[in-house]
């Protein structure tokens, strides 16, 4: 009998996923790795298939909102210097002179998070009814947008970086108004269809039929995330339908928002990551031409110490979720995380895309071992592909 073929080193990634499910880091996961445009790994763990959609959470900020900004910048409908006050006159952030670039770089001065949903659910408990009229959901969505626009600044624009959901709620609406179309329609037309993505928003008034996505939380509102325990009170919880967006602010916005709301697979996330590489190379200008990609992915030079580019983040110097290697060589890497346990990292030097999607919040928002798992997973990717020494120039 001949010996079995030697297993490719990258197969260890499947073991990592399976072990993480086994010890309760997350109940299910998908992962896809692309190197130089070729899929070198695709894995599934837990009770899901490769076609199961996951709640992508804040990956919405890059895959939808930032991509749509780039598309509209290309078309001349909006640009980095577009004033927020053009679309939200009289708002604190608009009156302070903030621009679309300030929102994208997370330097607008807006706070990270405001529980708009608490007021919305208190004033409109009928939102919890699956048969809630679309007119009510639309009116509440407008109320949330007005509340976001009325949010006082925590700092003057361009003085510090502070990751802000509030800023991206406003940014999503700016793009919608600039293009005179709903955000989910714009995403489908300008991102999902051209890139061949199955990803979509789950609008509550047009709830998708078919396969149920990987589960997240079970109640509405969700339990507070660590650090949010005192931000709202006296909002009774009720069971929630499977497949509804996990983020409560996105939920009261009818499931469609600039900061969260997108559902998709690891294949979708990886394809978008490849679109970033192809856009930078100029080989696929379906979203934007290469010069705009390069401008958008450059790290913010205005706020000292910022790791942010337009919409994207880059690996931090210490304790990066991307591990020790991703982004260690110029021109670095860009990516983003999602609260539900999702991530995308694109190493621009290595032409490497790592998409990891999980539903870790289904085990409770206090389950944070994903923070330890992500860097280990990414280190194994780079090591298995023999790309650790690229910073010394021994790999092309």
pLDDT digits (tens, 9 = 90+) for 265-286: 999 999 999 999 999 999 988 9
The residue-averaged pLDDT of 12-37 equals 97
Residue 330 located in a structural domain: yes
127 within 8 A of 140, measured Cβ to Cβ: yes
CATH number for the domain that contains residue 93: 3.40.710.10
Identify the residue whose tokens are 């949330």: 144
pTM: 0.95
Query: Which residue from 177, 110, 107 is spatially nearest to 150, judged by alpha carbons?
Result: 110
Dihedral angle, C-alpha 181, 240, 45, 55, nearest 10 °: 20
Give, for 33, the enclosing helix (H) or strand (E).
strand 29-35
Q: Confidence band (pLDDT; 50, 70, 90) for 45?
A: very high
Residue 8: predicted pLDDT: 72
pLDDT digits (tens, 9 = 90+) for 312-352: 999 998 889 999 999 999 999 999 999 999 999 999 999 99
Identify the residue whose tokens are 């970086």: 161
CA distance 179 to 174: 9
Residue 296 located in a structural domain: yes
The neighbour count for residue 118, using CB atoms within 10 Å, is 18
**What's the total number of domains in the chain?**
1
CA distance 311 to 93: 18
CA distance 382 to 350: 9
pLDDT digits (tens, 9 = 90+) for 165-203: 999 999 999 999 999 999 999 999 999 999 999 999 999
Residue 101: predicted pLDDT: 98
CA distance 356 to 378: 9
DSSP 88: S
Give the range of the structural domain holding residue 94, as residue numbers without chain letter.
9-392
Residue 359: predicted pLDDT: 98
200-201: strand order across its sheet: 54-55, 262-264, 200-201
Lowest average pLDDT, out of 71-85, 190-204, 234-248, goes to 234-248
Residue 333 located in a structural domain: yes
245 within 8 A of 46, measured Cβ to Cβ: no
The residue-averaged pLDDT of 215-222 equals 94
Query: Which residue from 249, 53, 226 is spatially nearest to 148, judged by alpha carbons?
Result: 249
Q: What share of the chain is helix, strand, coil (3-state, %, to 5)?
A: 40, 10, 50
Beta bridge partners of residue 313, listed in sequence order: 308, 335
Residue 2 located in a structural domain: no
Phi-psi region of 24 (alpha: psi -120 to 50; beta: other; left: phi over 0): left
pLDDT digits (tens, 9 = 90+) for 293-316: 999 999 999 999 999 999 999 999
CA distance 249 to 242: 17
Determine if the peptide bond prior to 87 is cis (ω within 30°). no
Residue 212 located in a structural domain: yes
Residue 3 located in a structural domain: no
The neighbour count for residue 343, using CB atoms within 10 Å, is 25
Residue 310 located in a structural domain: yes
CA distance 204 to 337: 24
Identify the residue whose tokens are 């994208």: 104
103 within 8 A of 158, measured Cβ to Cβ: no
Alpha helix segments (H runs only) across the chain: 12-22, 60, 67-75, 92-95, 100-104, 116-123, 134-149, 165-179, 183-187, 193-195, 248-252, 266-281, 290-297, 370-384
Helix/strand/coil for 118: helix
The residue-averaged pLDDT of 200-228 equals 90
Residue 125 pLDDT more than 80? Answer: yes
Beta bridge partners of residue 85, listed in sequence order: none
Helix/strand/coil for 242: coil
Residue 175 located in a structural domain: yes
């Amino acid at each position: 009998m001949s010996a079995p073929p030697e297993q490719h080193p990258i197969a260890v990634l499947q073991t990592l996923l399976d072990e993480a499910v086994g010890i309760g880091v997350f109940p299910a996961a998908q992962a896809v790795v692309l190197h130089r445009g070729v899929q070198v790994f695709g894995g599934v763990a837990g009770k899901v298939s490769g076609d199961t959609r996951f709640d992508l959470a804040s990956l919405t900020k890059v895959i939808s909102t930032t991509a749509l900004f780039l598309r509209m910048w290309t078309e001349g409908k909006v640009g980095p210097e577009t004033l927020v006050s053009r679309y939200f006159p009289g708002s604190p952030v608009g009156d302070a002179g903030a621009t679309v670039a300030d929102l994208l770089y997370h330097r607008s001065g807006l706070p990270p998070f405001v529980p708009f949903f608490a007021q919305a659910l208190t004033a409109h408990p009928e939102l919890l009814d699956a048969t809630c009229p679309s007119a009510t959901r639309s009116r509440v969505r407008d109320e949330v947008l007005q509340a976001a626009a009325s949010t006082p600044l925590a700092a003057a624009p361009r003085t510090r970086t502070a990751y802000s959901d509030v800023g991206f709620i406003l940014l999503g609406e700016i793009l919608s108004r600039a293009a005179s179309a709903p955000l989910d329609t714009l995403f489908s037309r300008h991102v999902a269809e051209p890139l061949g993505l199955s990803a979509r928003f789950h609008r509550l008034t047009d709830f998708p039929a078919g396969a149920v996505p990987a589960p997240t939380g079970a109640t509405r509102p969700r339990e507070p995330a660590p650090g949010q325990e005192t931000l709202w009170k006296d909002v009774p919880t009720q069971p929630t339908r499977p497949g509804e967006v996990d983020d409560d602010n996105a939920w009261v916005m009818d499931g469609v928002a600039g900061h969260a709301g997108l559902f998709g697979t690891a294949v979708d996330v990886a394809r978008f990551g490849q679109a970033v590489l192809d856009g930078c190379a100029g080989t696929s200008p379906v979203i934007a031409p290469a010069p705009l990609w390069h401008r958008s992915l450059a790290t913010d030079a205005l706020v000292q110490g910022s790791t942010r580019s337009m919409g994207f983040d880059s690996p931090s110097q210490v304790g990066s979720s991307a591990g020790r290697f991703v982004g260690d060589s110029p021109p670095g890497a860009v990516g983003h995380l999602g609260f539900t346990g999702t991530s995308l990292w694109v190493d621009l030097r290595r032409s490497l895309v790592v998409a990891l999607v999980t539903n870790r919040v289904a085990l409770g928002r206090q389950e944070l071992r994903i923070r330890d798992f992500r860097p280990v997973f990414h280190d194994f990717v780079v090591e298995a592909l023999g790309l650790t020494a690229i910073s010394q120039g021994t790999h092309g």
